A and B are shown apart, each in its own frame.
Chain A
Amino acid sequence: MNSRLFPLLGFLLLVGLLVVGLKIADRKTNLPSPLIDKPVPAFDLPVLASPGERMSKESLLGKPYLVNFWGSWCVTCRAEHPVVTELARLNAVYIVGMNFRDESTDAIAWLKRWGNPYDVSLIDFDGRVSIDFGVYAAPETFLVDPSGTIVFKHLGQLTWEVVQNEILPRVANMESGS
């Protein structure tokens, strides 16, 4: 082979790498969570609607539930809000809102303004629980099975496709299994 073709070949290889890199670029924003198939991190947090009450991981054992991290400061949470509302209307799964790094007055105003899709909202004011969940962006959503194990995580805006293809089948599975 003509050895003058080698630089061209090298260049084409680099272009190939670039194409592959661009193809998998959005996979980098959707990292697998090491928490899948692990027990839910411990939490014991005040309830947003009545701060005197608290709710813990233990009190939620025995039923599947969805943990949705949100904040009134989070624009994408507003964008996914209709999907969460639609899911809540189905009454298929208990939805826990984790209001993190937020002022309670802002959070309550936000729920009043846009509607409250959550069965309960808990206050994670300093974000400690969100760190235990490995949350690094908002919103993030976790599906927990009745034994308290995380079975699915979605990073970023919840879409109806994710609800239909990932969340609802898993919830149905848990109910038929138990």
Chain B
Amino acid sequence: MKLRKLFIVVLTLTLSVSVFAQSAPVQEPMVFETQQQEDRFKVLTQELRCLVCQNQNLADSDAQLAHDLRAEVHEMLLAGKTDDEIKQFMVERYGDFVLYRPPVQQNTYLLWLAPLGLLFIGALILRVNVKKRAVLLESTTDEETGNQA
């Protein structure tokens, strides 16, 4: 019981630390014409990777490159570019790696389809096990009834 309490305390502490770490993006103030533009900016900078610190997106990163790319996204938004055009701009320069959400294309089929495959394998294993147990259960109940009779 004591151990569980300690566990919860440690868990709470570690989680709260990571929350603080996440909520400190240093961003320059940006002016948008519409609320919609601002919303799109937020989504885009969250879906684009900062290539210097590869496990952060543009919204979270304080690297110089992230600053510049945010400014670039901002400018393209104001110029009326669509989300797809902005992503295309990034992919042309930095490759698919810049996208946190990989596109479905020939070299990512495995990535997208593997979970389905794993699910299928899991279902197979489950089926085999259920059958085995059913047989086992049948035989034991048979024995029991046999004994009783």
Contact = CB atoms under 8 A, between A and B. Distances in A.
A31 B95 contact: yes
Interface in B66-95: 68-69, 72, 91-95
Contacts of B64: 101, 127
Interface in B36-66: 51-52, 54, 64-65
A127 B68 contact: yes
Interface residues of A, number: 15
Interface residues of B, number: 14
A169 interface: no
Interface in A104-135: 126-127, 131-134
Given A136-B51, A137-B52, A131 B91 contact: no
B13 to A, nearest CB: 28
Interface stretch (A14-22, A32-40, A42-50, A81-89): A32-40
Contacts of B32: none
A131 B97 CA distance: 15
Contacts, number: 32
A34 B52 contact: no
Interface-central residue, A28, A33, A101, A131, by most chain B CB under 10 Å: A131
Nearest to B72: A131
B54 A34 contact: no
Interface SS of chain A: loop
A121 to B, nearest CB: 20
A35 B93 contact: yes
A77 to B, nearest CB: 15
Nearest to A133: B93
A34 B94 CA distance: 6
A34 B93 contact: yes
Contacts of B72: 131
Contacts of A34: 91-95
22 contacts: A28-B54, A31-B51, A31-B94, A31-B97, A33-B95, A34-B91, A34-B92, A34-B93, A34-B94, A35-B93, A101-B64, A127-B64, A127-B68, A131-B68, A131-B69, A131-B72, A131-B93, A133-B93, A136-B52, A136-B94, A137-B51, A137-B52
Interface of B: 51-52, 54, 64-65, 68-69, 72, 91-95, 97
Interface of A: 28, 31-35, 101, 126-127, 131-134, 136-137
